[in-house]
Amino acid sequence: MRVSPLLLVATGLASCTMAPPPPGYAQAQAAQEQADFQRALAGRVPAGPPQMCLPPGPTYGSHNVSPNTIIFERGSTYYVNHPPGGCTGLGNPAYALVTKSVGSGPCRGDIAQVVDLSTHTFIGACTLGDFLPYRRPR
């Protein structure tokens, strides 16, 4: 019996496909990201209009809530950034965000890279969006 090479290729490709996520997976993931976002802000409320750049000053701490949300910290003010199109891999704690700014601090439109902390390889990149300030109410 002769097996067609095309049949072998098709069988090989079919074995590489991933099963679709279970029903409700996207909703559960979105709910988890929202809960993580609320926990990260810890009672802070919007504190003004979106800003194009972070104000000049000392280095900011940051943490990646999800591929769609980055929080930059400066003192008591948190600046939330939602990269347009997201930033692949940012929800993974094994990855870090690396920003390089031409001016005084990160700005809308700057390119940020996602780096694997163990291998120091680049996983992906994204463009930063506006920075939304959040503070604790007085």
Please, what is the Cα angle at 113 between 59 and 40, to 5 degrees? 55
Q: Please choose, from the candidates 88, 53, 90, the residue with its C-alpha nearest in 3D space to the C-alpha of residue 74.
A: 53
Indicate if the pLDDT at residue 87 is higher than 50. yes
> What's the CA dihedral at 99, 101, 107, 110 to 10 degrees?
-60
Tell me the per-residue pLDDT of 37-63, one tens digit each, with 9 for 90 and over.
788 888 899 999 999 998 877 767 778
Helix (H) or strand (E) holding 14: helix 5-16
Query: What are residue 9's phi and psi, to 5 degrees?
Result: -65, -45
- pTM of the predicted model, to two decimals? 0.74
Average pLDDT over residues 9-33: 63
DSSP string, 90-120: TT-TTEEEEE--SSSS-BTT-EEEEEETTT-
| pLDDT for the residue numbered 8 | 46
Domain boundaries of the chain, sorted by first residue: 44-138
